Amino acid sequence: MKKRQQKKNCDPNEVKPIPPLVYHATPHADQITNEGLKLVKSREEQTFGGHTGRYISATTRKNAETYAEALRDVIGAARGDWGYNQLDDFAKKWHGDVKEIERWIKHTIPSWLGDVSRYSQHKLREDLPLMWLLEHVHSMTDFPLFISLEDSWQKFKKMKVADVGVIEIAVDPRITAGRWYIGEDLTGAYTYNPSEEEWRIHDLAMVKSVKRIS
């Protein structure tokens, strides 16, 4: 998972040493614990974290816990746990512009849907959370995920909030730091992205173990 806002004045050449334990937020926590991490061909196969076929992203435990919490909220919204009446709470939690959101609810929703009172509660719960999130998630200064909600919404509907968790990854101390260039051989290596505060493990032979911690 990626932090939406980059750190100010971060050095793009910074390579922060990878610690012995790093963390990964995922909607497939038990599956990864049982089967191990995979460099999958499609994000639909196992995890949203990292670049498909290239690396597994990992971060600090604090960051991973925040990412997991945001992922639970988005999955809950897709499944109907965050209905129309709870969207203000979602915004306040992640520090969105509540006044702007209220304006949008008052003016934009009627122009899109007409009189919302004519819609069943089920219809509101299914349609409005996605419409609202697409419009406002970018303005929530503390919302940490950078994902395509429109592309992922149907997948989120099929997921369970309880399946979201944080994986602890034990890293082989022999892993070395590398630079990610096109065509670069990163066998046995990791890279670091300072703007997102994440380590990228390119060689899963350097992963000693994984376990779910939350």
What the block records as the tokens of 14 is 């910074």
- Kindly give the confidence (pLDDT) of every residue in the chain, 214 residues in length, as a single tens digit, with 9 standing for 90 and above: 444 444 556 676 778 999 999 999 999 999 999 999 988 777 666 665 666 778 999 999 999 999 999 999 989 988 888 776 777 788 788 886 667 766 766 666 556 555 555 555 555 555 667 777 776 776 777 888 877 777 788 888 899 999 999 999 999 999 999 987 767 889 999 999 998 899 999 999 999 999 999 9
Task: Order across the sheet with 56-58: list the strands.
Answer: 56-58, 198-201, 189-193, 176-177
What lies within 8 Å, CB to CB, of 133 at 6+ separation is 74, 77, 149
Residue spans per domain, the chain = 73-157
pTM over 0.85: no
8 A C-beta contact, residue 95 and residue 142: yes
